[in-house]
Structure 1
Amino acid sequence: MKKIIIAVFFTLFLSACGSDRLAFSNRGEVYLLGNDLLCIKSKPGDVISFYSLSSSENKYYPALVSEFEINNKYPDTCIRVSLKKDVSYELIYTMNKVDYSAVFNLENDKLKQK
């Protein structure tokens, strides 16, 4: 009986972990401004309330940079960060109460979105 309870708990735990990723299923768009500003494509009226940037270099955990409960309005939608070549990145963010995910890498000093 104890093994069944542990198995059910473990299954529910894994299911909950995967659901966060599904919330950020909308494809986001980012671009590089200069050498160290990663910007979220936005327009007047857009508001960023959350973002988290992670990389393949550390297996996407912990996040390289995150901000929660913010109110960054256009044009304040850039993140100061140094990106490395041959590393994949994922930026998840909430803009206008919609969750987005942008997956990209740095190739020849330009972002290449996947």
Structure 2
Amino acid sequence: MKLFLIIPMIFLLSGCPGGGKSPSEYRGVFMQGNVMCFSIDKKDIVDFYNIYYWPKRKYTQVKATSNVNLSYPDSCINIIFKHGYAYNISYGLNGKYYYDKFFIDNDGNR
């Protein structure tokens, strides 16, 4: 009987795995032509970013950086996206984690 009480107590006291990093929130990026901005507010600071897609089921990193402190206009990058693929972006803004995902069709529209 004591065993049935001890096992749930162990799970309650151990907490959740992977602690420390808060989960990402959805936040879109601004795109116009070949320019993509993580923020257009001069007060916002970009900490890192990672842009990737999966051609033929293979993780492919398009562009990435880490440990930076970029504010507008440096929070904008020039990038050419290949048409016909879905892209994922993860980035840090003001110490919080965000993501965006989108598809570029064969005509180049998002």
Task: Output the TM-score relative to the length of structure 2.
Answer: 0.69
Q: Secondary structure at the match of 1:73?
A: coil
* 1:64-89 deviation line (CA, Å, top 9, x unaligned): 11111111112322222211221000
Residue 93 in structure 1 maps to residue 103 in structure 2: no
- 1:49 is aligned to 47
Structure 1 unpaired stretches of 5+: 1-15
Residue 32 in structure 1 maps to residue 31 in structure 2: yes
Which protein is richer in helix relative to its size? 1
Preserved CA contact (<8 Å) 1:51 1:93:
yes
Change (3 A) 1:86 1:64: same
The one-letter amino acid of 1:104's match is F
Preserved CA contact (<8 Å) 2:24 2:96:
no
Give the share of equivalent positions with the same residue, in percent: 22
Mapped partners of 2:58, 2:97: distance in 1: 18
The one-letter amino acid of 2:24's match is S
The one-letter amino acid of 1:75's match is P
Mapped partners of 2:38, 2:109: distance in 1: 15
For residue 73 of structure 2, the aligned residue among 72, 75, 79 is 75
Structure 2 unpaired stretches of 5+: 1-16
Instruction: Determine which structure has more spread, i.e. the larger CA radius of gyration.
Output: 2
The one-letter amino acid of 1:94's match is G
Mapped partners of 2:58, 2:45: distance in 1: 25
The one-letter amino acid of 1:28's match is R
Deviation (angstroms), 1:38: 1.9
Runs of 4+ in structure 1 off by over 2 angstroms are 22-25, 58-62, 107-111
